Amino acid sequence: MTRVVAQGTFDILHPGHVHYLQDAADMGDELHVIVARSVNVTHKQPPVVPDEQRREMVGALKPVDEAHLGHPEDIFVPIERIEPDIIALGYDQHHDDEQLEAALSARGLDCDICRASPLEAEAADRLLSTGRIIDRIVDERS
Ligand SMILES: Cc1cc2nc3c(=O)[nH]c(=O)nc-3n(C[C@H](O)[C@H](O)[C@H](O)COP(=O)(O)O)c2cc1C
Ligand SMILES: Nc1ncnc2c1ncn2[C@@H]1O[C@H](COP(=O)(O)OP(=O)(O)OP(=O)(O)O)[C@@H](O)[C@H]1O
């Protein structure tokens, strides 16, 4: 039984998220998703949708077996609980694969790091980014 962990903010859901989660689910038998706490989303604008509501929506997606809210301070606490065999990083996630692997083994956690593939927009009207959806809302509704 291969357990996979995916993670991210998942503020306003779009097909890029579904693609990532299906890719991650295809890497193993059971997919757990860690949904980042708003307080930890410091590398971009904080999410609009509350933490628990983002977890609820991710948990309702077909590829997902269980969605967990992330730990507020220590990102390795949920990993210790879930004990994944694979951590699937998103195609554009800023985490450094080697640094993450080193930090995991320093905590005694042994799992492989894999990268998921991107879903490219094949039509100009596809909105495959939360940031682009928000920009569209601001442009068209203000
Ligand atoms: C292995 C791993 C575990 C994570 N665990 C948590 C966590 O427990 N709590 C949390 O708020 N964020 C957690 N994160 C998410 C990061 O804090 C970061 O916000 C997230 O990678 C942002 O992704 P995005 O920009 O693609 O949405 C984790 C990330 C990784 C790679
Ligand atoms: N078009 C896409 N194709 C594949 N994976 C995607 C796509 N968009 C987002 N993801 C993945 O989904 C996960 C969560 O992404 P995130 O919540 O940051 O969404 P986002 O749409 O990229 O947000 P933003 O536009 O604010 O940067 C990440 O692992 C990211 O790589």
Q: Is the ipTM of this complex over 0.90?
A: yes
For ligand 1, which residues put their CB under 6 angstroms from it?
7-9, 34, 36-37, 40-41, 70-71, 75, 78-79, 87, 90, 93, 95
| Alpha-carbon torsion angle 83, 27, 88, 113, nearest 10 | 70
Task: Report the number of distinct structural domains present in the chain.
Answer: 1
- Distance, first Cα to last Cα, the chain: 50
CA distance 7 to 32: 8
Distance separating alpha carbons of residues 85 and 77, to the nearest angstrom: 15
Structural domain of 51: 3-141
| Ranges of residues in the chain whose predicted pLDDT is under 70 | none
Has this prediction a pTM greater than 0.95? yes
Neighbours of 71 (CB within 10 A): 16
- Domain CATH code at residue 122: 3.40.50.620
Does the annotation list 17 as a binding residue?
Answer: yes
